[in-house]
Amino acid sequence: MGPGPANANPRVLAAQAMPLLGHMHPPFFKIMDEIQAGLRYVFQTSSEYTCLISGTGHAGMEACITNLLEPGETIVIGDKGIWGARAADMAGRFGVNVVDLKKEAGKTFTIAELEAALKEHKPAVLFLCQGDSSTGVHQNLAGLGELCHAHGALLLVDTVCSLGGVPFFADAWGIDAMYSGSQKVLGAPPGAAPLFFSERALKKLRERKTKPMSYNWDLNLIGDYWGWFGSRSYHHTGMVSMWYAMREALQIMGEVGLEGMWARHKRLHEDMWKGLTAMGLEPFVANPADRLVTVNTIKVPEGVDWLALNKFAMDTYNVELAGGLGPTLGRVWRVGIMGYNATPANVELVLTSFREGLKAQGKLKA
Ligand SMILES: Cc1ncc(COP(=O)(O)O)c(C=O)c1O
């Protein structure tokens, strides 16, 4: 019940144990086609340019940045937690001119702030993290694609800990590129980064003057393995077992349905906060509309030992809770409500862990 990896669905683990197919054999290409259909559904796009990157969320981040930008171009990074800072670090390594647009931890960017940055810096790309797992904020993305396009920029979004748990509409919101992670709401082990490029983003990639600086993440080559350009060529060995896992995870998303997933995560987030509030605990994110439902940040009250409470939860109930990360280190607990773990029983177990953990420190009476 930390910010991930969440427990994987047993159906996904069983799928992963199936015998290996050759990664260039037609039956395996069929599995890849089915994965792409599943990705189109969870991303809410009709774009042909979807795939899994062989790596975790960071690999997806690096793939998007190195493919979307050439050295000397500018990226504006919406930096409101550690993910913006990491994207800035990566872009800098690729010779991209980085504008670090900072925001106090726990807050989100307004449209007016982003518009001012687009006007001033005229970037090729604007980066935003939808669900920031280091602070527990949820950045609203509606309308931002249109805004970026009006200023000649592409919109790149991190959805590693939010995809599947909160609404996301790649086409309707005009998103140009997006990466996510397998090990959070999607309910698979870590090791695959779902990725999406819009037509606009693909055009930019195809018209580059320089090759993407990473061979491993070159989407001209990876796309050619995923059939983006009408053929299939070997780039690297597809992660056969991991792709089985993702096919099953996406199948489950389809069975439950996105609306059902979003509603379940929101309901459990609200139920958990009812219980936490009754114990006198407070959210780190002041504005309810900015609170991420998949990763919840809970302020550590004065005089409470957060690490001791986490140890108590693990030792007593086998429940994993996490402390803060980056700007929230020592200031919050982080509790994940994600995918297979998103059940009323698990939320109840989290509440029991906090209740009894606080009592054990003499910080809660009744
Ligand atoms: C929002 C966000 N972005 C990126 C990442 C990095 O993903 P990974 O650890 O899978 O590389 C994480 C991981 O927790 C995340 O929560």
Same domain as 218, residue 276 = no
User: How many CB atoms are closer than 10 A to CB 189?
Assistant: 18
Same domain as 275, residue 243 = no
The tokens for 194 are 């779902």
Q: Is the CB of residue 56 below 6 angstroms from any atom belonging to ligand 1?
A: yes
Among residues 235, 256, 277, the one where a domain terminates is: 256
**Per-residue pLDDT, 366:** 65
**Per-residue pLDDT, 146:** 98
Q: Is the CB of residue 181 below 6 angstroms from any atom belonging to ligand 1?
A: yes
Closest CA to 32 of 235, 176, 208: 235
What are the counts of helices (DSSP H) followed by strands (DSSP E) for the chain?
A: 12, 12
Nearest CA residue ID for atom 5, ligand 1: 57
Q: Is the CB of residue 179 below 6 angstroms from any atom belonging to ligand 1?
A: no
In a domain, 57, yes or no: yes
Strand 192-197 versus strand 50-54 pairing type: antiparallel
Q: Is the CB of residue 320 below 6 angstroms from any atom belonging to ligand 1?
A: no
Domain around 22: 10-256
In a domain, 22, yes or no: yes
Q: Is the CB of residue 58 below 6 angstroms from any atom belonging to ligand 1?
A: yes
Residue 334 is assigned to a ligand binding site: yes
**Contact yes or no for 219/7 (Cβ under 8 A):** no
**Per-residue pLDDT, 13:** 98
CA of 182 to the centre of ligand 1 (A): 10
CA of 359 to the centre of ligand 1 (A): 33
Same domain as 306, residue 249 = no
**Per-residue pLDDT, 365:** 73
Among residues 256, 287, 318, the one where a domain terminates is: 256
Which domain CATH number covers 271?
Answer: 3.90.1150.10
In a domain, 2, yes or no: no
Nearest CA residue ID for atom 7, ligand 1: 57
**Per-residue pLDDT, 282:** 98
Contacting residues for 302 by C-beta, under 8 A, at least 6 apart: none
Q: Is the CB of residue 301 below 6 angstroms from any atom belonging to ligand 1?
A: no
**Contact yes or no for 297/330 (Cβ under 8 A):** no
Closest CA to 200 of 312, 251, 124: 124
Describe the chain by its helix, strand, coil percentages, rounded to 5: 45, 15, 40
Mind listing the pLDDT tens digit of every residue in the chain (366 residues)?
999 999 999 999 999 999 999 999 999 999 999 999 999 999 999 999 999 999 999 999 999 999 999 999 999 999 999 999 999 999 999 999 999 999 999 999 999 999 999 999 999 999 999 999 999 999 999 999 999 999 999 999 999 999 999 999 999 999 999 999 999 999 999 999 999 999 999 999 999 999 999 999 999 999 999 999 999 999 999 999 999 999 999 999 999 999 999 999 999 999 999 999 999 999 999 999 999 999 999 999 999 999 999 999 999 999 999 999 999 999 999 999 999 999 999 999 999 999 999 999 999 976
Same domain as 299, residue 243 = no
